[in-house]
């Protein structure tokens, strides 16, 4: 049986909602951002197979029916886009908190019998040209121990089958990792002891390591926050939104000012929605004089990281008071 995979369109696809549409604890599928480096892949589910190989005792070829017959797991966690890999310091607000259903990666790896290896290569069906470089597939490499611990071969979001835009029929999802690692339209997992030389592994999606001249692959989520509402309520403002990261968020500050945040107050924090890698509600009611026009949020986490005011992809989210974010 041949596999029908078409790309439509053959160009980078981007869509994201206004932050105000992300105010619900669980993000609706229609409100979840869409990114396709080469466009959107359309895969024949009946012919789809997942190939599991490399350093394993028993290479596997699994159909969608095979995967559905395995024990399922469910996790709610944030999916966040790192942003444009060609402009790594450009702020981005593409994120959503979604319920993922699928098969634990460890279930498949145990069945294959992993022999040895430090990395798991994940390969998608999407292909095309990005930044002038032709690619026959999308590929990422991830720490084997992390993916084995918490990775999911997701075939449903919020209780419904994945859409083509979000990786149907199966995508890899690793809670706590940026979306670039959560390979859509998955076709192969390979256990390996070295990094593959690929546009999306060793060239793009790299970042500086503090105190070092070396670059490291983009994996762990930054600490970040998103303002979903900022309205005057009498002499105060009512500000709320979400904060998240790869480490637990411990504090969120809300700032008001005329041209930028000047006075900061601590917001109240809710529990993570769905689990340790879900986002947390923050809410604050700071005093808002007539001169206050701008609202900002700044999150801090248990790893000692804080959002910078500017100049970074996770810079503080600054919005106009009394205007929809």
Instruction: Give pLDDT, residue 10.
Output: 61
Torsion, Cα of 257, 261, 267, 273 (10° steps): 120
Locate the domains of the chain by residue range: 5-207, 224-320
Q: How many helices (H) and strands (E) does the chain have?
A: 3, 26
Alpha helices in the chain (DSSP H): 64-68, 105-112, 144-150
Question: If you compute the radius of gyration of the chain from its CA atoms, what whole number of angstroms results?
Answer: 21
Instruction: Give pLDDT, residue 1.
Output: 46
How far out from the chain centre does Cα 58 lie? Answer: 31
Please list, in sequence order, all residues whose beta carbon lies within 8 angstroms of the beta carbon of residue 14, skipping any fewer than 6 positions away: 33, 34, 35
Instruction: Give pLDDT, residue 22.
Output: 98
Instruction: Give pLDDT, residue 4.
Output: 67
- What's the CA gap between 271 and 227, in Å, rounded? 17
Give the pair of three-digit tokens for residue 321. Answer: 């008071």
Pick from 178, 147, 153: nearest CA to 84: 178
Residues forming a β-bridge with 206: 217
Stated pTM of the model:
0.95
Count of beta carbons in the 10 Å neighbourhood of residue 277: 22
What does each of the 325 residues of the chain score in pLDDT, given as a tens digit?
457 687 876 677 889 999 999 999 999 999 999 999 999 999 999 999 999 999 999 999 999 999 999 999 999 999 999 999 999 999 989 999 999 999 999 999 999 999 889 999 999 999 999 999 999 999 999 999 999 999 999 999 999 999 999 999 999 999 999 999 999 999 999 999 999 999 999 999 999 887 788 899 999 999 999 999 999 999 999 999 999 999 999 999 999 999 989 999 999 999 999 999 999 999 999 999 999 999 999 999 999 999 999 999 999 999 999 888 8
CATH class of 5-207: alpha beta
- What's the CA gap between 88 and 234, in Å, rounded? 40
Topology match between the domains 5-207 and 224-320: no
- Complete DSSP assignment for 1-14: ----EEEESSS-EE
Question: What is the DSSP code (8-state) at residue 267?
Answer: P
Cis omega (within 30 of 0) for bond into 9: yes
Span 224-320: which CATH code? 2.60.40.650
Give the pair of three-digit tokens for residue 298. Answer: 């700044």
Give the pair of three-digit tokens for residue 308. Answer: 């910078």
């Amino acid at each position: 049986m041949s596999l029908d995979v078409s790309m439509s369109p053959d160009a980078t696809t981007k869509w994201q909602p206004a932050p105000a549409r992300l105010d619900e604890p669980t993000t609706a599928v229609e409100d979840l951002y869409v990114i396709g480096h080469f466009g959107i892949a359309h895969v024949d589910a009946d012919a789809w197979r997942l190939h599991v190989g490399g350093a394993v005792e028993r290479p596997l070829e699994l159909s969608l029916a095979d995967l559905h017959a395995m024990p399922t797991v469910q996790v709610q966690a944030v999916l966040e886009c790192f942003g444009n890999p060609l402009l790594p310091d450009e702020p981005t607000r593409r994120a959503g908190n979604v319920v993922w259903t699928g098969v634990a990666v460890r279930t498949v790896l145990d069945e294959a019998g992993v022999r040895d290896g430090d990395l798991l290569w994940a390969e998608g069906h999407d292909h095309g040209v990005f930044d002038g470089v032709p690619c026959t597939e999308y590929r990422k490499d991830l720490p084997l121990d992390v993916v084995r611990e918490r990775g999911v071969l997701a075939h449903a979001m919020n209780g419904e089958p994945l859409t083509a835009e979000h990786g149907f029929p199966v995508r890899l999802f690793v809670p706590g990792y940026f979306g670039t690692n959560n390979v859509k339209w998955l076709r192969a997992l390979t256990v390996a002891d070295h990094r593959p030389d690929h546009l999306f592994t060793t060239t793009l999606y790299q970042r500086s390591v503090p105190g070092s001249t070396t670059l490291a692959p983009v994996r762990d989520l930054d600490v970040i926050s998103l303002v979903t509402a900022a309205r005057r309520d009498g002499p105060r403002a009512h500000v709320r939104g979400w904060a998240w990261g790869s480490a637990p968020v411990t504090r969120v500050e809300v700032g008001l000012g005329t041209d930028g945040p000047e006075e900061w107050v601590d917001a109240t924090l809710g529990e993570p929605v769905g689990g340790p890698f879900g986002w947390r509600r923050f809410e604050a009611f700071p005093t808002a004089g007539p001169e206050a026009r701008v609202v900002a949020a700044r999150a801090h986490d248990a790893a000692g990281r804080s959002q910078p005011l500017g100049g970074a992809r996770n810079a503080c989210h600054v919005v106009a008071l009394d205007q929809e974010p």
